[in-house]
Amino acid sequence: MSAMNDCITTFMTKDRDYQVLDFGSFTNVGQQLNHRMLLEGYRCTITGVDIQAGNNVDIPMPQPYRIPVKSRSQDIVISGQVFEHIPFPFASMLEIARVLRPGGLFFMTVPSRGHRHSTYDLWRYYPDSMRALAAYAALELLQAHTDFPPRLDGGERHDYAAIDHQYHYWGDTVGVFRRPRRRRPSVWGPFHRAVELRHANRIGDLSGTPRPPRPANLSRGARQRRQQRLQERLAGGTPQATPHTTPQAAGETPPAG
**Residue pLDDT, tens place only, 192-210:** 999 999 999 999 999 999 9
Whether the per-residue pLDDT at 223 is higher than 60: the answer is: yes
| pLDDT, position 35 | 96
**Residue pLDDT, tens place only, 46-55:** 999 999 999 9
Architecture of the domain spanning 2-203: 3-Layer(aba) Sandwich (3.40)
Mean pLDDT, residues 136-155 taken together: 92
Mean pLDDT, residues 109-136 taken together: 95
Mean pLDDT, residues 106-113 taken together: 97
Whether the per-residue pLDDT at 238 is higher than 90: the answer is: no
| pLDDT, position 176 | 98
Higher pLDDT, 126 or 221: 126
Q: Which of 53, 51, 25, 59 is nearest to 39 (CA)?
A: 25
**Distance from the first to the final alpha carbon of the chain:** 90
Mean pLDDT, residues 108-127 taken together: 94
Q: For residues 145 and 71, is the Cβ–Cβ distance under 8 A?
A: no
Mean pLDDT, residues 81-97 taken together: 98
Query: Alpha-carbon distance 109 to 114, whole Å?
Result: 14
The C-alpha torsion from 29 through 62 and 66 to 64, rounded to 10°, is 60
Query: Alpha-carbon distance 4 to 79, whole Å?
Result: 9
- Give percent of the chain with pLDDT exceeding 90: 67
Q: Which of 112, 103, 150 is nearest to 130 (CA)?
A: 112
| pLDDT, position 29 | 84
Whether the per-residue pLDDT at 250 is higher than 80: the answer is: no
| pLDDT, position 242 | 46
Domain segments of the chain: what residues?
2-203
Whether the per-residue pLDDT at 107 is higher than 90: the answer is: yes
Q: With bands split at pLDDT 50, 70 and 90, how would you rate the model's confidence at 237? A: low
State the chain's mean pLDDT as an integer: 90
Q: For residues 57 and 114, is the Cβ–Cβ distance under 8 A?
A: no
Q: For residues 126 and 173, is the Cβ–Cβ distance under 8 A?
A: yes
| pLDDT, position 247 | 44
Whether the model clears a pTM of 0.75, i.e. scores above it, the answer is yes
Q: Is 192 helix (H, G, I), strand (E, B) or coil?
A: helix
Higher pLDDT, 121 or 242: 121
Whether the per-residue pLDDT at 251 is higher than 50: the answer is: no
Q: For residues 72 and 45, is the Cβ–Cβ distance under 8 A?
A: no
Whether the per-residue pLDDT at 248 is higher than 50: the answer is: no
Whether the per-residue pLDDT at 232 is higher than 50: the answer is: yes
Q: Is 249 helix (H, G, I), strand (E, B) or coil?
A: coil
Q: Where are the alpha helices (DSSP H) in 22-65?
A: 35-38
Higher pLDDT, 240 or 17: 17
| pLDDT, position 217 | 73
